[in-house]
Structure 1
Amino acid sequence: MGRILVTGASGNVGKYVAEYVLKNEQQVTVAGVHTKVLQDMFGEDPNARIVHFDFTDSKTYAEALQDVETVFIMRPPHLGNPADLYPFIDALKDSGHIKLVSFLSLIGIEHNPVPPHYKIEKYIEKSNVPYCHIRPSFFMQNISGVHAFEIKHFNNIVVPVKKALTSFIDAEDIGEITAKVLCEPEKHQNNAYSITGGQAIDYYEVAMILSEILGRKIQYSNPSPRLAKEYWLTIRGLDKEYATVMEMLYMMTRLGTAKKVTTTFHDVMGKNPRTFKEFAHKNIKAWE
């Protein structure tokens, strides 16, 4: 088969998509704006081609799509306008030889038109390019990434969802299943896969697991949405658009949209996804 294009290949999910595509002995084009980082990550693999790519610069499309038959789309967090991705989707349609495009979306997005992922999914479907949307639940990496600061320095989790349940999934599991989809495009065309961990837990249990593994008391502060956003903006200094998207996603969680547990990962991969406890043991340095 032709090459597999992975956009956002230095990110949480994209790097695992590319790694597992290479483990499947397929040729991959790893694309992004930080080509030096990509060179450090994939430069030694003869099956990896590294290209500069920017969704907002159509001049970067041709090189990225050279010899490509399947595509992984990761929306950069700073591109909050769905239309920023439309020209690239149009280019996929115009190429005439794309067997599958797999867009990293959100679980439950089919019922929520507010986040940009909804309109991007619909635009892909209308393009008539074969697709397989990847709709994961919340990444475990959110706890070791954007929320690690409070855990590490204040032994606190600042997430405004009360006792709502979340079926956390490891980004590595998302990358592995996405790579399999991209390597077997005919088997997965015109589907949408909701991918979760094997159980749904609340943030009080997250705090309990972290307390056990770290050997110190971690608390879940359960702030109001208003206070959480104010903290993200004024104390953490997070980008306003990023904080607004995060606010919307956690509002969805409060409404119960993140508690769904699916068997999709096991159905496709033939094994169980990682548990949060397994993830925490593996990533303990993020909070020490």
Structure 2
Amino acid sequence: MILVTGATGTIGREVLRRLLSDRPVRIMARQPGRVTGAPPTARIVHGDFTDPASLADALHNVHTAFLVTNPDGDDDDDTRFLDPARAAGVRHIVKLSAAAVTDRAADDLITRRQRHNEDLLRASGIGWTLLRPRAFMSNTLPWARSIRSGQVVRALYGTSANACVDPGDVAEVAVLALTGRGRDHAGGAYTLTGPQALSASEQTAQLSELLGLPLRFEELSPQQARTGLEARYPADITSALLESARRQHSGSKAVVDPTLPGLLGRPARTFRDWASDHLDAFRPDPTASS
């Protein structure tokens, strides 16, 4: 039995789309009604990291689990999951982490939590695979509102490059590790990037070409970026995100890693590939002004 957590998130949704119906799959979600795209044979159950009884039920007869926790929030979820997983006899956990854990200069709160959670898994006695993606290409989706309303993208450090990755590619690697297709992935720690490093202004130019719209890029000042983040996140998370942006500005996120195409046997998808599949999210509504 494969257990999938984080099924309503960016990677979890893509994992569900790629799991074949011939595999027994259980999906744990705080809000089961929000789960979409699951294999028809999958069973969706209520589960919460803070509810031990629900975790025990979700983990019953599970041999492999996809673990997604939120490093922006409560940092005890990994501990809450690993203890009952070990008690239930889970043999292998595929954990979504982040590429920043390999950067010695990265010491922000979110990265420290990711490193701590990786350490917890390695020390658990359960077999493990670590997925360490660079930023997701889908992180550009919040630009859609300003593109639709004013044909503008606003971001901090617009010329700094990031080897961002298609979430679908990350999910495909996750499914390989969960199902053991191709090889044994236990003990693998995979840094996953896209095929090229792009800046926000370069992404804006590609979206402009694909949409056929004269998009413009406007640079945010650090204070403007802080104000916007503070409206959504606590102060410590805001500081961590700004520190991450400063590291990107120094060039620390521009390295393209060959691991992903080596695992998938094909090139990693480009930002243009991803954007072409998601143009409707950015396209202005032709009826909005009528």
Normalized against structure 1, the TM-score is what?
0.88
Normalized against structure 2, the TM-score is what?
0.87
Q: Partners of 1:206 and 1:187 in 2: how far apart? A: 36
Matched, 1:184 2:180: yes
Q: Partners of 1:150 and 1:275 in 2: how far apart? A: 23
Aligned to 1:86: 79
User: How far does the alpha carbon of each residue in 1:190-223 deviate from its partner, in whole angstroms, 9 at most, with x for none?
Assistant: 1210001111111221111011011122223222
C-alpha deviation, 1:89, in angstroms: 1.4
Residues 22, 252 of structure 1: alpha-carbon distance in 2 compared, 3 angstrom cutoff: farther
Aligned to 1:203: 200
C-alpha deviation, 1:184, in angstroms: 0.7
Residues 268, 65 of structure 1: alpha-carbon distance in 2 compared, 3 angstrom cutoff: same
Residues 245, 154 of structure 1: alpha-carbon distance in 2 compared, 3 angstrom cutoff: farther
User: How far does the alpha carbon of each residue in 1:121-149 deviate from its partner, in whole angstroms, 9 at most, with x for none?
Assistant: 111112122111100011111112x3322
Matches within 5 A, 1:1-288: 3-22=1-20, 25-38=22-35, 40-42=36-38, 45-46=40-41, 48-76=42-70, 80-95=73-88, 97-110=89-102, 111=104, 112-114=106-108, 115=110, 116-144=113-141, 146-184=142-180, 187-233=184-230, 237-240=231-234, 243-288=238-283
Contact 1:69 1:100 in 2 (8 A): yes
Aligned to 2:287: none
User: How far does the alpha carbon of each residue in 1:259-278 deviate from its partner, in whole angstroms, 9 at most, with x for none?
Assistant: 12111111111011211111
Letter in structure 1 aligned against 2:101: I
Letter in structure 2 aligned against 1:274: R
Letter in structure 2 aligned against 1:264: T
Aligned length: 276
Q: Partners of 1:137 and 1:162 in 2: how far apart? A: 17
| Structure 1, unaligned runs of 5 or more | none
Letter in structure 1 aligned against 2:276: H
Q: Which stretch shifts more, 181-190 or 163-172?
A: 181-190
Q: Partners of 2:3 and 2:119 in 1: how far apart? A: 21
Letter in structure 2 aligned against 1:215: G
Contact 1:5 1:70 in 2 (8 A): yes
Q: Which stretch shifts more, 82-91 or 108-117?
A: 108-117
Q: Partners of 2:52 and 2:101 in 1: how far apart? A: 27
Q: Partners of 1:227 and 1:272 in 2: how far apart? A: 37
The CA RMSD measured in Å over matched residues stands at 2.1
Contact 2:78 2:120 in 1 (8 A): no
Residues 151, 277 of structure 1: alpha-carbon distance in 2 compared, 3 angstrom cutoff: same
| Structure 2, unaligned runs of 5 or more | 284-290
Q: Which stretch shifts more, 135-144 or 108-117?
A: 108-117
C-alpha deviation, 1:113, in angstroms: 4.3
Contact 2:28 2:45 in 1 (8 A): yes
C-alpha deviation, 1:162, in angstroms: 4.1
User: How far does the alpha carbon of each residue in 1:150-179 deviate from its partner, in whole angstroms, 9 at most, with x for none?
Assistant: 333233333323422111111111111111
Q: Partners of 1:35 and 1:217 in 2: how far apart? A: 41
Q: Which stretch shifts more, 198-207 or 178-187?
A: 178-187
Residues 256, 157 of structure 1: alpha-carbon distance in 2 compared, 3 angstrom cutoff: same
Q: Which stretch shifts more, 172-181 or 247-256?
A: 247-256
| Partner SS, residue 209 of structure 1 | helix
Residues 126, 176 of structure 1: alpha-carbon distance in 2 compared, 3 angstrom cutoff: same
User: Could you tell me the percent identity over the aligned residues?
Assistant: 26
